[in-house]
């Protein structure tokens, strides 16, 4: 394989919208600069990868978290047609409501109506604007303005609408999630008691509060953190991953789902959001902190199994058998392959909660 890694603008630099920026853009929109960077990279790959021994007709887009959320958006973006041919999405944050251009422009305009004054700021001063656009506690079911938006130029419709209408570039997919997608990302949230949890759930599931509390509420204060972590995982990652798999499978494309459950030696919780990515690269020596984490022979063979499947998928469009275990396609009863202390097949045990999230997000958009 030829692996191409690249940078793209993020945060305020990648997704800031402002009416004055839209007027001068030539596209009538602003924001989504990070996605435009990704499109530029994919176009460069088409033009140049043969010079590095690559095949421009077999390009696999591959990312985790924000990277895989971007891939999901590009799957529905007309401008990305033909730029990649299969995709591997680790914990994609897809299927959530997208802010409109008007909403994002209003948020940007509220910071400072004077674009020349904003341009006079240093890079550090621009970065310091982030908290004014990105709340400390993310809305579980509401649009976010400092991320890709429905701008009418690059992103034409909400993902749910695009997926339902089959407006996707048809291709094979591998899509997966981790056992604990929420704990790491909600650890700093001010949810200390069952009452805190109930308030947050009611604010995020307006019109479906009672059902939401059945899935994510609790009566004991010491359970509140775990319950909000599960609500975050389901709304931000788990439901969207399933929705994308269902949508692409419905279009007749082969898809495979995975679920990563392996905890490293001494790890007391998790695996957290992003913990599996080093396995796919065979880079176990570097942990999330960058200082390294312990690993053993189980991690090594698991990494070999995952990296091999990812490589076969990039080469052929199919992951093949993984350590001689057949990986069933997602259409076979929505089965997944579990990468854990051992390899095994299974299905998502949280389907009732995901059905609720999916239904609520569909009805409330």
Spatial CA neighbour of 288 closest among 93, 35, 65, 7: 65
Burial degree of 210 (CB within 10 A; 0-12, 13-18, 19+): exposed
Residue whose structure tokens are 């394989």: 1
151's CB contacts (< 8 A; 6+ apart) are 17, 29, 30, 31, 32, 101, 104
- For this structure, is 334 an active site residue? no
Spatial CA neighbour of 280 closest among 234, 241, 313, 329: 313
Q: Which two tokens stand for residue 165?
A: 């209408």
Radius of gyration of the chain (CA): 21
Spatial CA neighbour of 172 closest among 51, 327, 291: 327
Of 85, 272, 273, 336, the catalytic one is 273
Of 17, 22, 65, 225, the catalytic one is 65
- For this structure, is 273 an active site residue? yes
Q: Which two tokens stand for residue 339?
A: 């990468």
Spatial CA neighbour of 295 closest among 338, 263, 256: 263
Q: Which residues of 319-341 are buried (b: 16+ CB within 10 A; e: fewer)?
A: beebeeeebbbbbeebbbbbbbe
- For this structure, is 159 an active site residue? no
In angstroms, rounded to a whole number, what is the distance separating the alpha carbons of residues 146 and 105?
Answer: 11
In angstroms, rounded to a whole number, what is the distance separating the alpha carbons of residues 91 and 89?
Answer: 6
Residue 196: left (phi > 0), alpha (psi -120 to 50), or beta? alpha
61 strand-pairing partners: 87
In angstroms, rounded to a whole number, what is the distance separating the alpha carbons of residues 248 and 163?
Answer: 8
Of 105, 181, 276, 293, the catalytic one is 181
The 3-state DSSP class for residue 63 equals: strand
Spatial CA neighbour of 262 closest among 339, 336, 344, 337: 339
Catalytic positions: 65, 181, 273
């Amino acid at each position: 394989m030829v692996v191409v890694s690249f940078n793209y603008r993020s945060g305020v630099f990648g997704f800031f919208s402002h009416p004055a920026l839209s007027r001068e853009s030539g596209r009538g929109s602003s924001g989504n600069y990070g996605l435009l960077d990704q499109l530029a990279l994919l176009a460069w790959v088409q033009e140049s990868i043969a010079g590095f021994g690559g095949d421009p007709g077999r390009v696999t887009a591959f990312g985790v978290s924000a990277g895989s959320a971007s891939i999901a958006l590009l799957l529905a973006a007309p401008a990305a047609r033909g730029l990649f041919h299969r995709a591997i999405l680790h914990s994609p944050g897809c299927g959530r409501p997208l802010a409109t251009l008007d909403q994002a422009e209003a948020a940007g305009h509220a910071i400072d109506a004077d674009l020349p004054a904003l341009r006079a700021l240093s890079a550090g001063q621009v970065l310091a604007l982030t908290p004014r656009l990105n709340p400390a506690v993310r809305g579980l079911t509401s649009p976010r303005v400092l991320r890709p938006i429905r701008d009418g130029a690059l992103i034409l419709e909400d993902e749910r609408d695009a997926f339902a209408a089959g407006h996707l570039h048809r291709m094979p997919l591998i899509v997966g999630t981790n056992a604990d997608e929420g704990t790491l990302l909600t650890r700093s949230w001010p949810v200390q008691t069952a009452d805190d949890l109930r308030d947050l759930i009611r604010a995020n599931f307006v019109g479906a509060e009672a059902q939401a509390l059945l899935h994510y509420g609790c009566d004991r204060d010491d359970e509140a953190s775990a319950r909000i972590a599960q609500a975050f995982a389901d709304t931000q990652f788990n439901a969207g991953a399933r929705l994308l798999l269902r949508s692409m499978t419905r279009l007749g494309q082969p898809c495979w789902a995975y679920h990563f459950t392996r905890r490293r030696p001494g790890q007391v919780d998790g695996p957290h959001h992003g913990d599996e990515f080093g396995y796919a690269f065979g880079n176990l020596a570097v942990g999330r902190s960058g200082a390294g984490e312990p690993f053993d022979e189980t991690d090594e063979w698991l990494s070999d199994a995952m990296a091999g499947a990812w490589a076969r998928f990039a080469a052929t469009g199919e992951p093949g058998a993984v350590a001689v275990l057949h990986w069933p396609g997602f259409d076979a009863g929505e089965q997944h392959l579990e990468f854990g202390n051992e390899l095994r097949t299974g299905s998502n045990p949280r389907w009732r909660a995901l059905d609720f999230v999916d239904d609520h997000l569909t009805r409330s958009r």
